Amino acid sequence: MYKAIIRPTMYRAWGGDPETMHHWMMDRLAFISRFQALLKIIEVANAYKAPGLEREVFGVRFPNPVGLAGGFDKNGVALPALAALGFGFIEAGTVTRHKQPGNEKPRIFRITEDDALINRMGFPNEGADAISERLAKEPTPSIPIGWSIGKSKITPQDEAIDDYLYSLRKLYPYANFFTINVSSPNTPGLRQLQDKEPLDRLLQAVVQESESIATKSGVNAKPVLVKIAPDLSEEQINDVIEVCLSRRVRGIIATNTTLTRNGLSRDIGEAGGLSGRPLRARALEVVSYLCKRLDGAIPVIGVGGIASPDDARRMFDAGASLIQIYTSFIYEGPGIMKRINKQIL
Ligand SMILES: Cc1cc2nc3c(=O)[nH]c(=O)nc-3n(C[C@H](O)[C@H](O)[C@H](O)COP(=O)(O)O)c2cc1C
């Protein structure tokens, strides 16, 4: 029904602009999030629950291993409704210290024949202050929430660490884990933070801050993870691994969108990060490499082009402890989580 009726109708609405459709959908999900009875109905219809799906990874318990990837709910306005649709966890954000509008529109493009998207959003979000103030008034979601944090566009590169620390402190009470996003291609200079020295300084500061907030508040430190790009060389991935292990990073998320256009049947001539089916092979390759090199030292979350139970199985076989989806949630609809979870069982 999603592919035959809902998807074509939504694609045609609003002149077919993907971002307008996304906002329309987010407004509905945010509205539904306020009503327990509605959430229950959605959960009964969609969420697939079984003890065999539960996982404990970096000290956090997950009801199932299929999560929503970063960037879908940038301000965390619809977490309860997204949880009711059957995700095992949600990576909310990416949030920046300063509220920012992101890049000029249009900035999301569908390439339907390849089940792919190109986006150059540039972290539009309400900013860490406004988001944390709103979260303080809302009930805790029923599944683990990771908050993805990034650098504000206006912040100079040499002040990036303070920017991340600010968002970490603000969102600390509302996160089960944090993702340090150094891999989105649409914020100038962000990917340079994946280089060994800047990454080392950033992760040392963020992990230390997480541990010190936890000590002061008498709780366990919230795990800090790093999300990397698929466009790194083996040597660069080795550097990331070395830094993560020495700085007590608890996991690696691989991968973000790619700047390559490999696997696309036509180049639509738009700048930005490519996601969906064309990314699948490279994301799997990076996850396999990471898992082999890490040999279980810290877990890996696999993301990139997962659109079927078989894609998910290949990611788990490669060694991923959890997986995330974004583009296939749009192309396949919410049934995709249930199909993957059924196969896992
Ligand atoms: C429109 C859009 C916005 C995104 N925004 C973010 C973001 O803010 N932070 C982030 O870490 N990743 C972001 N991503 C990347 C996804 O989280 C994911 O890593 C990538 O799309 C690959 O997974 P997929 O092929 O399942 O979509 C975004 C992706 C898309 C398509």
Q: pLDDT tens digits for 169-217?
A: 999 999 999 999 998 888 888 888 878 889 999 999 999 999 999 999 9
The Cα–Cα gap between 143 and 76 comes to 13
Cα torsion angle, 244, 75, 123, 284, sign? positive
Structure tokens of 316? 């788990």
Which residue's CA is minimally distant from atom 15 of ligand 1?
Answer: 256
> Tell me, what DSSP letter sits at residue 3?
I
Q: How many structural domains comprise the chain?
A: 1
pLDDT at 8 > cutoff 70 = no
Q: DSSP 3-state assignment of 303?
A: strand
pLDDT of residue 191: 87
- The predicted-structure confidence for 149-181, as pLDDT tens digits, reads as follows 999 999 999 999 999 999 999 999 999 999 999
pLDDT of residue 195: 84
Nearest protein CA to atom 6 of ligand 1, as residue: 71
Per-residue pLDDT tens digits for 233-271: 999 999 999 999 999 999 999 999 999 999 999 989 999
Q: Are 166 and 83 in contact (CB under 8 A)?
A: no
Ligand 1 pocket check: which of 227, 256, 285, 300 to mutate, most ligand atoms within 8 Å of Cβ? 256
Q: What is the spatial distance between Cα 230 and Cα 250, in angstroms, rounded to a whole number?
A: 19
Give the Cα separation of 1 and 335 in Å (integer). Answer: 10
Note the pLDDT tens digit of each residue in 293-334: 999 999 999 999 999 999 999 999 999 999 999 999 999 998
Q: Are 191 and 229 in contact (CB under 8 A)?
A: yes
Q: Retrieve residue 232's tokens.
A: 């790194």
**C-alpha span between 168 and 158 (Å, rounded):** 18
* Residue with CA closest to ligand 1 atom 4: 71
Q: Which atom of ligand 1 is nearest to the CA of 94?
A: 8
pLDDT digits (tens, 9 = 90+) for 69-114: 999 999 999 999 999 999 999 999 999 999 999 999 999 999 999 9
The CA-to-CA distance between both ends of the chain, in Å, stands at 24
**Which DSSP string corresponds to 191-230?**
GGGGSHHHHHHHHHHHHHHHHHHHHHHTSPPPPEEEEE-T
| Ligand 1 center–CA 218 separation, angstroms | 34
Q: Is 69 in the pocket of ligand 1 (CB under 6 A)?
A: yes
The number of the ligand 1 atom at minimal distance from the alpha carbon of 121 is 3
Instruction: Report helix, strand or coil for 343.
Output: helix
> Which residues lie below 8 Å from residue 339, measured CB to CB, with a gap of 6+?
308, 309
Tell me, yes or no, if 288 is annotated catalytic.
no
Residue 250 pLDDT: 98
Compute CA 86 distance to the chain's CA centroid, rounded to the nearest angstrom: 16
Which residues make up each annotated binding site for substrate?
74, 119-123, 181, 186, 256-257
H-assigned helices in the chain: 7-12, 18-32, 36-46, 79-84, 128-136, 160-171, 196-217, 234-246, 280-294, 309-318, 327-332, 335-344
Decide if 279 contacts 257 (C-beta within 8 A). yes
Dihedral sign from CA coordinates of 24, 26, 29, 30: negative
Q: Which is the closest atom of ligand 1 to the Cα of 324?
A: 26
Regarding the beta carbon of 70 and ligand 1, being less than 6 Å apart is answered yes
Instruction: List the structure tokens of 302.
Output: 């696999």
Structure tokens at 43: 């959960």
CA dist 123 and 168 (Å) reads 16
In this structure, which residue's CA is closest to atom 18 in ligand 1? 256
Distance, CA of 141 to CA of 275 (rounded, Å): 27
What CATH code is carried by the domain that includes residue 286? 3.20.20.70
Residue 245 lies in domain: 2-344
